[in-house]
Amino acid sequence: MSLSEQNVDPSRPAPREFRTTHWSVVLLARGGDTVGAEPALAELCGLYWYPLYAYVRRLGRSAEDAQDLTQEFFARLIEKRWLDNVDQARGKFRSFLLTAFKHFLASEWHRDRAFKRGGGQTLISLDSVEAEDRYKLEPTDTTTPETLYDRRWALTVLDQAIARLETEQSIAGHADRFEAVKDCLLGEPGESTLAESGARLGLTEAAMKAVVRRLRERYRALLREGIAQTVDGPKGVDDELRSLLAALRR
């Protein structure tokens, strides 16, 4: 998935209200509420395992090692209470997660204590085939592990925003309309013109352009909301958005 910069304006005001943030989930776990925190953390792990997987693969580790390391990291994140000393004021959830992963790789991983698939309760289900299929699509260049991590994180945030928009449109009964204009929202060339798509849907070209404008506005709002969940407050949204756009250009 790609994103044209014209579809995202960092100067736009942030939404007034945000959903529960990733940081609030971390702080919940830090407070010892494992009953409430573990399901939420498991959901976060499910969202962000691939950027970490791609990071460790780019370090030169095998696919099997990358899968074991990523799963074990998320398991220990909870079991070893690594969140107890986390300070939200330090900044971005993205940076916190990568820093914690680096410490894990440097200090916590011992092959004689390696996580064994099927040997215990798995926090997340990591599909090794899917992971490698995705990794094979990564550019074969000199991209650093950190750059690849940031790029994958950015694409994950974009994917979440477009998936939420698609769900909203489906619930509203506009799934066909969304599918017809989806490429326009992402700045990708469509297979047909808006006029052709409108004709199939019984809408004029002008009506289709209005649909695109409305959905782009909603897409921007959902993207900003998603980013807001990963920073320490609304003030950090614009900076993180610029950082993620820069990561996509690298």
pLDDT digits (tens, 9 = 90+) for 172-197: 999 999 999 998 887 765 657 888 88
Please state, as a whole number, how many other Cβ atoms lie within 10 Å of the Cβ of residue 33: 12
Across all residues in the chain, what is the average pLDDT? 76
- Assess contact for 53 and 133: CB atoms under 8 A: no
Note the pLDDT of residue 164: 94
Regions of the chain with pLDDT less than 70: 1-38, 40-41, 78, 81-91, 108-129, 139-142, 188-191
